Structure 1
Amino acid sequence: MMTPGNLADPPVVLIRGAGEQASGVGWALHRAGFRVVMTEIAQPLMVRWPVCFGTAILEGSWEVEGIRGMHIESPQDCPRVWQQGGIPILVDPDLKHLPQIRPDILIDAIMAKRNLGTTIASAPLTIGMGPGFCAGKDVHRVLETNRGHNLGRLINSGYAEPNTGIPEAVLGYTKERVLYAPGAGIFEAKCRIGEEVRVGDILGLIQQGEQITPVQGNLGGVVRGLLRSGTVIIMNENNDARIKVGDIDPRFKEEYCWTVSDKARTLGTSVLLGIIEWMNGGR
Structure 2
Amino acid sequence: MGKVFKALNKAMSNPEESASPPPSTPEPSVKTERQPTPAKREIPTVNVTGSMDNTSGVNNWDEKLVAFSAPSSIITENIRHLRNRILHPPSGGPALRRVMTTSALPGEGKSMLCSNLAISMAQGLEQHALLVDCDLRRSSLAQMLAVNNSQGLSNYLQHDRELGEVIRQTGLPKLSLLPSGPRPMNPAELLDSKRVGEMFDELSNRYDDRFIIIDTPPLPMAAETTVLAEQVDGIIIVVRWGRAAREQVKQMTENLNKDKIIGIVFNAFEKDILSAKLTGYEPYGHYGGY
Identify the TM-score tier after normalising by the shorter chain.
0.3 to 0.5
Q: TM-score, normalised by structure 2?
A: 0.33
Structure (1/2) with the larger helix percentage: 2
The structure having more radius of gyration, on CA atoms, is 2
Structure (1/2) with the larger strand percentage: 1
Q: TM-score, normalised by structure 1?
A: 0.33
* Greater RCO (CA < 8 Å, at least 6 residues apart): 2
